[in-house]
Amino acid sequence: MFTLRNKERTLSVDKPVVMGILNITPDSFFVGSRYEQLDHVLEKAEQMLQNGATILDIGGQSTRPGSTRIDAASEWARIENPLRELVKRFPEAFISIDTYHAAVATHALNEGAFMINDISAGEMDKNMIDTVARAGAPYVIMHMRGTPATMQEQTQYDDLTQEVIAYLKAKKDSCIQRGITDLVVDPGFGFAKTIAQNFQLLAQLEKFSVLQSPLLLGISRKSFIYKTLGCLPEQALNGSTFLHAIGLQKGAAILRVHDVKEAVEAIRLFERMR
């Protein structure tokens, strides 16, 4: 289905895979994804890997709507020790770093991280794309307008899906021109999109195949799910799993999730049906 390579390792898969979310933060929107103590991070990582996660996505700051930004030094201070321990204890894991700071990406890749997941596709730190290119690492580019603090004020589109595709196409071309060879695209559910727009984007997800890159689906427990259902993030697992199944049918290659076991089961059933 796709191959991602850095200078040391290759991830080759023939079916969709799961990326488990490890937020080393005090303020992520889903309380159940916050892991500030090192032993809790390691315990959760082990559980995710045992449940079938292929990639672990480590984040040092929340990017939920309205969240407060922290600088690169503070972000790295949160994830430095956990990353080193994860690389040491789980050498088979492919570790992604969820950051828009080039300095954090540099440190993390030097410490054994496999790839970088950037919500801003290089917009929030102009050094990021060249940093990833020099490291020869895979790079996730996501669609967003503004910053997490301002993005929900920028939800006006003439043609949502085509504008998101065009943005990702331009970003992909720029990344390739600057030396990044392995790219993953993320439509950015919940980032500068209304509830209705998120559902529209999911309904038209198959159109992203034109980008000819692995498609990451990041919808786990997000507000367009739990607000539609009239529940809390803690009660949105069933809704998330249902929409993951739809995403798989429409071409998602990577499910970025809080709940690995359920997502892996969805993929197993999808593959059996297919």
151 DSSP 8-state letter: G
Dihedral angle of Cα 128, 133, 139, 144, to the nearest 10 degrees: 40
Please state the φ and ψ torsions of residue 11, each to the nearest 5 degrees: -110, 110
First-to-last CA distance in the chain? Answer: 14
- 241 burial (CB, 10 Å; 0-12 / 13-18 / 19+) is middle
- For the annotated catalytic residues, the residue numbers are 222, 256
Q: How far apart (Å, rounded) are the C-alpha atoms in residues 148 and 198?
A: 16
SS3 200: helix
DSSP-assigned letter for residue 215: B
Residue 188 vs residues 23, 31, 142, 184, 219: alpha-carbon distances, Å: 18, 21, 5, 12, 9
Percent helix / strand / coil, the chain, rounded to 5: 45, 15, 40
H or E element that contains 176: helix 160-177
From residue 114, how far is each of 9, 36, 75, 221 by CA, in Å? 8, 22, 18, 25
